[in-house]
Homo-oligomer: A and B are copies of this chain.
C-alpha cells in the first residue's frame, strides 16, 4: 500500500486561470474506465517539456518534441491504457491523427496539440476508440477538473497525485497546480511518468526551457522505484500568463520565487510516485552531502536507492549497514576515501572510519528501520555539494505486480 499517501482533496487543487481540463471514457483497455484527458490552454500560453532519454522513445514523445519547436501550444491530449511505443511509422501516424482530431475540436492547427500516451507498449494505439471519445472530453472541459484528470491519467498507480501552491509575484497572486502519474519503472531521465505542472504566471518564452530543466533536476529526476526508465516519460511545464504580473524576463528574484513554488509542487508529485511505488511499504530518502559536485552525490545516492539488496533489507526493516556501504563502494566514484565518510540511519550515526560507528547500537538502528519513512544520510566529507533521491523498498508485491502485469 502507498506509504503515507492519500489522493489530494479535490478542493485543494486550485484552478489555474487559462487552463481547463476534460475527461472521457474511451474504453481503451477497460470499458467504462475514464482514460482520456484533454487540457485546453488559453491563447498566449507558454509550454516547455523534458522527455525520456530512452532510445526507444514512443511515438507521442517524438510528436511532442516536433510540435514544441513550433510553439503556440493550445491543447494536450492524454490517454492511458496504451503507450503507443514500439509501434513504428504507424504509431507516429496515429499520434498525429489524434492531434488532428483534437485540433478540429479547438479550431487550431494539429501542430498546436501535444499528445501523451501511457500503458502497454507494442500494441497499436486504438484510435478507433480514442477519436470518437474526444468530443465527450471536450464537452467536459472545466477549470476545476484537476483531480478528475489526476485520476484519469493513472496506470498502475493506486493513488492519484496532485498538488497546488500559491505565491505573490509583482503584487499578484500566482497559482501553481500539478498532476502526475507513475509508480513503477521510475528512474531519472526519466521514468514511466507523466507530469503536468501549470501556472498562471507570465514568464518569457526564452526562460521556459531553463525553468522546466531546473525544476525536473530537483524533482522528477530525483526519484527511482526500480531503476528502469520508460519510453514515454514526459514532464510538461505550462505558463498561461493570465495572472497579470509583469513578465518574468530574467533569472532574478521573481524567477527564483516562481521556481521554488514550481519545484515544491513537482517534488511533492515526485515523492508521491515513490510513496506509491509498486509494492512499496517504506518511503526512503537518500541524502548525500559533502561531495565535490552534485553529480557524484547523485551517483552514490542512486547506487543506494537502486540496490535490490538495500531495498529488500529495508522491506525487512533490517538495518543492514553492510549493503549500504557496499553500494557506496561500487557507485563508481573512483577516488572515494571510504575511511572519511559517515552514514546515518535517521539520526543514528551507524558508520565511520570504514566500519561500524564506535557507539553503534543495533537496537537504535533497528528502531529507525521500523518506521514507514526512513532517511539514509551519507557525508562524503570532501566538498559542499549535496543531492537527495527518493525511493521505496522492494517487496514480495513488487515481484507479484510485475510478474502479473500483462495477465
Contacts and interface: CB of A to CB of B under 8 A. Distances in A.
A402 B309 contact: yes
Nearest to A321: B122
Interface residues of A, number: 64
A312 B403 contact: yes
Contacts of A336: 55
Nearest to A232: B326
A270 B112 CA distance: 55
Interface in A301-322: 306-309, 312-313, 315-316, 318, 320-322
B403 A316 contact: yes
A405 B319 CA distance: 12
Interface in A52-84: 53-57
A167 B288 CA distance: 53
Nearest to A315: B403
A233 to B, nearest CB: 10
Given A55-B338, A336-B55, A354-B88, A399 B312 contact: yes
Q: Name which of A88, A228, A336 has the most chain B CB atoms within 10 A of its CB.
A: A228
A308 B56 contact: no
Nearest to A402: B312
Chain A at the B interface: mostly helix, strand, loop or mixed? Answer: loop
A304 to B, nearest CB: 11
Contacts of A135: none
Contacts of A309: 184-185, 226, 228, 402
Interface of A: 53-57, 85-88, 91, 120-122, 184-185, 187, 226-231, 306-309, 312-313, 315-316, 318, 320-323, 325-331, 333-334, 336, 338-339, 351, 353-356, 394-396, 398-400, 402-407
Given A122-B321, A312-B403, A399-B399, 19 more contacts: A54-B326, A54-B330, A55-B334, A56-B326, A57-B329, A86-B325, A88-B354, A122-B322, A184-B309, A227-B306, A228-B326, A228-B327, A231-B322, A308-B394, A316-B403, A320-B405, A395-B399, A396-B396, A396-B399
24 contacts: A55-B331, A55-B334, A56-B329, A56-B338, A86-B321, A86-B351, A86-B356, A88-B353, A88-B355, A120-B322, A122-B356, A226-B307, A227-B306, A228-B326, A228-B330, A231-B322, A231-B325, A231-B329, A308-B398, A316-B403, A316-B404, A318-B406, A320-B406, A396-B400
